[in-house]
Amino acid sequence: MRVKIVIVGVGGQGILFLTRLLSEAARALGHEVIGTETHGMSQRGGSVISHLKVNCGAAPLVRRGTADVLLALDPDEAYRALGFLRNGGVAFVNTGRPDFPSPEIAARLSERNITVYTLNADAVASELGSPALANVVLLGFASGHPGFPWPHEAIVGAVKRVGKVTLRRANERALAQGYAAFSPTAGLLRQESPRSPTPSRHPPARGDTSRGA
């Protein structure tokens, strides 16, 4: 396992919690973790970005063009961070916007064999009774991807160990719900031929349609 992942969103969306979960999951598997996160001023509603690298040496930041995975809790922040992805990288984006990503950008991503999966994690989290769970929902969604570097079970284990004890059950449910949102028809979500993209091939926003973990 050698991974570079970038997690982005807006202050208050729980980016740092996802970073802690993924760090803990990687550590429990015996891997070397290094990363860095935004604190302070930018947490007051500003853009937040977290870098995490597993078995990649000692440099904390991910260089643009080299990330394997992007987790984005906000579509605008996703746009800003797409440049981090390498050719063949994967993005998981929380958005209800049917037009994400824009046709031009989708075309460029396709040329580079970058796949984007979207989920309205906010809607799923609201259904679960707490909009604040969108971060864990999105993580569950990503962990449903067979190529996601962290085994789903490792993340389930981390959710049981990290964060406030009183919230762990809710986090487990959110993770399961996100996971279920991905797995049934994962193949359909993939963008098709990397060389001939069209807007109609973008993955649909799915949160409301694939419930029932």
Partner 1 sequence: MEAVLLGNEAIGRGLVEGGCQVMTAYPGTPSSEILPAVLRFGREPGSAGVYAEWSANEKVAFEVALAASWSGLRAAVAMKQVGLNVAADALTSAAYAGTSGGFVVISADDPGPHSSQTEQDSRLFALFAKVPVLDPATPREAKAMASAAFELSETFGLPVMLRPTVRVCHGRQNVPLEPLRPLARRAHFRREERWVATPARRYRDHLRLGETLEQVQAHFARSPWNTFPAARGPFTLGIIAGGTCSATVEEVIAEAGLAEAVPVAKVGTPYPLPVEPLMEFVGRCERVLVLEEPDAVIELQLPDRRRVAGRLDGTVPPAGELTPDVVFDVVRRQLRELGVADLPPAHDKALDELVGALALPPRPPRLCPGCGHRSAFYAIRRGTRQAILPGDIGCYTLGANLRAVDTVLDMGASISMAAGFYHAHRLAGDERPIVAAIGDSTFVHAGLPALANAVHTGARFVLVILDNRVTAMTGFQPTVESSQLADGSPGVAVSLEALVRGCGVRWLRVVDPYEIGEMIALVKEAQEYTRRPDGGVAVIIARRPCVLHRRDSVTPVPVEVDEACDGCRYCLVAFECPALVMNPTTGRVEIDRRICVDCGECVDACYKGLIVPAATGSA
Is residue 127 a contact point for partner 1 (CB under 8 A)?
Answer: no
Residue from 6, 7, 18, 33 binding partner 1 (CB under 8 A): 33
Question: 179-198 mask for partner 1 (x: CB under 8 A)?
Answer: --------------------
**At its nearest, how many Å lie between partner 1 and the CB of residue 45?**
5
| CA dist., res. 121 & res. 73, Å (int) | 8
| CA dist., res. 49 & res. 7, Å (int) | 6
**Strand 115-119 versus strand 85-94 pairing type:** parallel
54 neighbors 3 (Cβ within 8 angstroms): yes
**At its nearest, how many Å lie between partner 1 and the CB of residue 34?**
5
Residue from 5, 6, 11, 136 binding partner 1 (CB under 8 A): 11
Residue from 1, 83, 88, 192 binding partner 1 (CB under 8 A): 83
72 neighbors 141 (Cβ within 8 angstroms): no
33 neighbors 86 (Cβ within 8 angstroms): no
Is residue 167 a contact point for partner 1 (CB under 8 A)?
Answer: no
Residue corresponding to tokens 């999105």: 138
Between the alpha carbon of residue 24 and those of residues 120, 146, 154, 158, 185, the distances in Å are 26, 20, 9, 6, 29
Is residue 64 a contact point for partner 1 (CB under 8 A)?
Answer: yes
Backbone phi, then psi, for 179, in 5-degree steps?
A: -60, -45
Judged by CB, which is closer to partner 1: 27, or 211? 27
Residue 99: CA count within 13 A, CB half-sphere: 4
Distance of CA 87 to the CA centre of its chain: 17
**At its nearest, how many Å lie between partner 1 and the CB of residue 36?**
5
Is residue 211 a contact point for partner 1 (CB under 8 A)?
Answer: no
**Residue numbers 38-57 binding partner 1 by CB under 8 A:** 38-47, 52, 56-57
Single out the segment in contact with partner 1 by CB under 8 A; choices: 79-87, 137-145, 172-180, 183-191: 79-87
Residue 190: CA count within 13 A, CB half-sphere: 14
Residue from 3, 5, 15, 24 binding partner 1 (CB under 8 A): 24
124 neighbors 181 (Cβ within 8 angstroms): yes
Residue from 73, 109, 124, 133 binding partner 1 (CB under 8 A): 109
Binding site for partner 1 (CB under 8 A): 10-12, 19-20, 23-24, 26-27, 32-47, 52, 56-66, 76-77, 79-80, 82-83, 102, 104-105, 108-109, 112, 122, 131
